[in-house]
Amino acid sequence: MDISKYQELFKSEAAEILQTLNNLLVQLEKTPASRETLNEIFRMAHTLKGMAATMNYPEVVKLSHEMESMLDTLRINPSSVDQKVCTVLFEKFDALKQSVAQANPFTERRMVRINEEDKAVMAKASREGIKTYIVKIVLHKDCTMPQARSIVILKTLQESGKILNEAYVHNQIKTAHFGKSFIAFYMTKNDIEAIKKEIRSIQDVDLVDIGPMTAEESKSPAKVPNMPAIDPPVQGIRVSVERLDNIFNLVGELNINKTQLETIAQSTANTELSEHLSMTHRLISELQMEVTNARLFPLSSICDQFPRMVRDMAKSEGKEVNLEIIGAEIGLDRVILDEIKDPLIHILRNCVGHGIEIPDIRRQKGKQAAGLIKIQAKRENNRVSIEVTDDGNGMDIERIKNKAVSMGLITLEKASCLSDQETAMLTTVPGLSTACQVTEISGRGVGMDIVKMKVEHVAGTFLIETRTSIGCKFIINLPVSLAIIKGLMVKVHHQIYGIPVSNIVRIIIGDPGSIKDIPLVSLREVFGFKNEGTAGTIPIVIVKVKDKTVGLMVDGLVNQQEMIVKTLDKSLARAKGLSGATILGSGKVALIVDVPALV
């Protein structure tokens, strides 16, 4: 149930402030004497205190006040900030974060906005046995005339009592952002149950919360009189991700429907219909783009927690690590962000745990005592590359090779030919990755198979570059959005499959026997159909993933079309060579070829 719109607003704003505070504290630890950072932390703590005071969350007020006071002293003497001070600040921050999480408007007293005149009225009334209450009313979300309904409520209350600071209530309900809930200070001889009963008889009332206003509250008016009780949302509206997903799915269905209509228009040679459909096509494309963009979230939504995380990991390992994030504003589909969060954390853990050396060793090598991890995101057309670089020790190439040979993954001869990069990529092979995890033999590569799998799951690619003593680079390349890709529809054993056009280099129609320089894969074999001999010329789709090229042998080419990617359910998701499904114009389902899995 919608308990309180105030609470939601407070929490979302407080969460943003806490995130900024967290980052600032990490920054302060790196540059302790920075007056600028100290000022900013002070300002954040102060803002949070003001907000919490308005909501009357005493615990949050107390803790943010403590932090603010501490910062106030430190601002005068920035040079006194040291490791110890930072640790105390971090502890205070953690407590603050927890108290924000626990803050609840219905269990705590509310700060009120009562002026001197009203206080005098209250004092007089209380001598006559009239009590003052804080009344909070939430209207039903479907209420179509909330302002008018609120006035009916006020009028009803006024029939048997007095509203203090009526202007305050009118201010709440007249704003264009009126969130269908308001607070009133109400003086009456009636008891709480009687007031509730009266208000509940009014239509559109969803919730009534009434609490007595204590003498203490009325004696100490809000310390932040300039701050409104609720900050109306400044820009736009909040739309739940679920709703966006629904719209997105509907647009997808619409597109499929359009494709079906196009098929009909073609088969009936109806030019008028075709003309209208080309307009529909344009409109749907625009709609699709708008919805796709609306689903993009900034990378910062997952990266913001990294500085603190890296700091804590480094601390526990006795290392010093600085984290630099570039391009955090770049937007990615929410599904992709969800999927790559763990891989990124995994990579960072590797960088801190195994890559960056302890300060003494770094000094011996002539490096800065503090290691540097850089996350750099770049947008390239419809893709985003995220590079995580560390300036640590790099991977132990020889050890990885030895392990791979001993496990029978590669031969000794092949091992000697492998480049450093190819060797590094061996850590993404499940067996080796796991082996390394158990024995920590390579010192690197722990769980890299999972990273690769997760990245590829969202149509991304994963690469590792390593240079001994210089460091490692992990490159994740992702599509901005998952859902719609251009596909080449091909025929394999009387069935239609889609191959993402982004993977296709060229198409050859020729004799497979004549192609020597590119390895060939028969899709018939991959999907378990009988290979009825490939004599003569057949279409061969040449695909490329990173620097690997493979020719996919198919039975025939159908057409090119936009594919709305539908994920496969669990039982099919493990099927080799398939990454999803799409619906054809005819309404039939076509499976999408998982190209990275085949090269």
Partner 1 sequence: MAKKILIVDDSAFIRMALRDILTESGYEVIGEAENGWQAIEKFKELLPDLVTMDVLMADETGLEALKEIMKLDRNAKVLMVTAMGKQAMVVEALQAGAKGFLIKPFESHAVVAEIKRILKE
Output 148 or 573, the one with its CB closest to partner 1: 148
- Give whichever of 128 and 159 is closer to partner 1, judged by the CB atom: 159
Q: Distance (Å, rounded) from C-alpha 130 to C-alpha 187?
A: 6
Judge whether 18 and 100 are in contact, CB under 8 Å. yes
Q: Does 151 bind partner 1 (CB under 8 A)?
A: yes
CB of 155 to partner 1, least distance (A): 7
Distance CA 72, CA 230 (A): 27
Residue pair 301/331 in contact by the 8 Å Cβ criterion: no
CA distances from 496 to 75, 182, 223, 492, 560 (A): 69, 59, 70, 6, 12
The H-or-E segment that residue 271 falls in is: helix 271-294
Question: What residues contact residue 92 under an 8 Å CB cut-off, 6+ apart?
Answer: 63, 66, 67, 70
What's the closest the beta carbon of residue 156 comes to partner 1, in angstroms?
8
**Cβ-based nearer residue to partner 1, 77 or 158:** 158
Q: How far is the CB of 124 from partner 1 (least distance, A)?
A: 27
Q: How far is the CB of 169 from partner 1 (least distance, A)?
A: 14
Residue with tokens 């745990």: 353
**147 is a site residue for partner 1 (CB under 8 A):** yes
**Is 542 in contact with 526 (CB distance < 8 Å)?**
no
SS3 542: strand
Residues in the chain: 599
**Beta carbon nearer to partner 1, 204 or 562:** 204
223 binds partner 1 (CB under 8 A): no
Interface residue with partner 1, options 101, 120, 123, 148 (CB under 8 A): 148
Nearer residue to partner 1 within complex by CB, 147 or 263: 147
- Give whichever of 148 and 250 is closer to partner 1, judged by the CB atom: 148
Radius of gyration of the chain (CA): 32
- Kindly tell me which of 145 and 407 has the beta carbon lying closer to partner 1: 145
**Shortest spacing between CB 201 and partner 1, in angstroms:** 5
Contact window for partner 1 (CB under 8 A) among 139-147, 220-228, 237-245, 566-574? 139-147
Question: Contacts for 537-541 with beta carbons within 8 Å, 24 or more apart?
Answer: 537/509, 537/510, 537/511, 538/509, 538/510, 538/511, 538/512, 539/490, 539/507, 539/508, 539/509, 540/507, 540/508, 540/509, 540/510, 540/512, 540/515, 541/488, 541/490, 541/499, 541/504, 541/507
Which stretch in 66-74, 142-150, 282-290, 365-373 sits in contact with partner 1 by CB under 8 A? 142-150
Interacting residue with partner 1 among 101, 145, 215, 505 (CB under 8 A): 145
Instruction: Give 107 or 203: the residue with its C-beta nearer to partner 1.
Output: 203
The smaller minimum CB distance to partner 1, of residues 99 and 150, is found at: 150
Residue number with CB closer to partner 1 (202 or 370)? 202
β partners of residue 402: none
Instruction: Identify the residue among 144, 226, 235, 381 touching partner 1 (CB under 8 A).
Output: 144
In the complex, minimum distance from the CB of residue 544 to partner 1, in angstroms, rounded to a whole number: 58
- Of 145 and 215, the one with the shorter C-beta distance to partner 1 is 145
Site for partner 1 in 358-397 (CB under 8 A): none
CB of 199 to partner 1, least distance (A): 10
DSSP 302-371: HHTTHHHHHHHHHHHHT--EEEEEE-TT-EEEHHHHHHHHHHHHHHHHHIIIIISPPHHHHHHTT--SSE
The nearest distance, CB 134 to partner 1, in angstroms, is 23
Shortest Cβ 154–partner 1 spacing (Å): 9
**Angle of CA points 435, 436, 440, to nearest 5°:** 130
Tokens of 36: 């600028």
Total of residues contacting partner 1 (CB under 8 A): 10
Least distance from C-beta 479 to partner 1, angstroms? 44
Q: Does 142 bind partner 1 (CB under 8 A)?
A: no
| Residue span binding partner 1 (CB under 8 A) among the ranges 140-148, 340-348, 357-365, 502-510 | 140-148
Q: Are 487 and 592 in contact (CB under 8 A)?
A: yes
**Which region among 149-157, 186-194, 276-284, 572-580 touches partner 1 (by CB under 8 A)?**
149-157
Regarding 273 and contact with partner 1 (CB under 8 A), the answer is no
Nearer to partner 1, 148 or 358 (CB): 148
For the bound state, the minimum distance from the C-beta of residue 148 to partner 1, rounded and expressed in Å, comes to 4
Q: How many other C-beta atoms can be found within 10 angstroms of the C-beta atom of residue 558?
A: 15
Residue 230 DSSP symbol: S
The one-letter amino acid code at 345 reads: I
CB neighbour burial string for 21-58, b if at least 16 within 10 angstroms, e if fewer: bbbbbbbbbbebebeebbebbbbbbbbbbbbbbbbbbe
Contact flags string 164-203 toward partner 1, x per CB under 8 A: -------------------------------------xxx
Nearer to partner 1, 203 or 235 (CB): 203
Which residue number, 145 or 358, has a Cβ lying nearer to partner 1?
A: 145
Among 33, 130, 152, 309, binds partner 1 (CB under 8 A): 152
Burial of 509 (0-12, 13-18, 19+ CB in 10 A): exposed
Smallest distance, Å, CB 144 to partner 1? 6
Smallest distance from partner 1 to CB 162, Å: 17
Q: How far is the CB of 473 from partner 1 (least distance, A)?
A: 60
Q: Report in angstroms how near the CB of residue 176 gets to partner 1 at its nearest.
A: 12
Query: How far apart, in whole angstroms, are the C-alpha atoms of residue 579 and residue 458?
Result: 9
C-alpha closest to that of 524 among 581, 577, 456, 597:
577
Q: What is the SS3 assignment for 204? A: coil
The nearer residue to partner 1, 202 or 287, going by C-beta atoms, is: 202
Please state, as a whole number, how many other Cβ atoms lie within 10 Å of the Cβ of residue 210: 17
Residues that bind partner 1 (CB under 8 A): 144-145, 147-148, 151-152, 155, 201-203
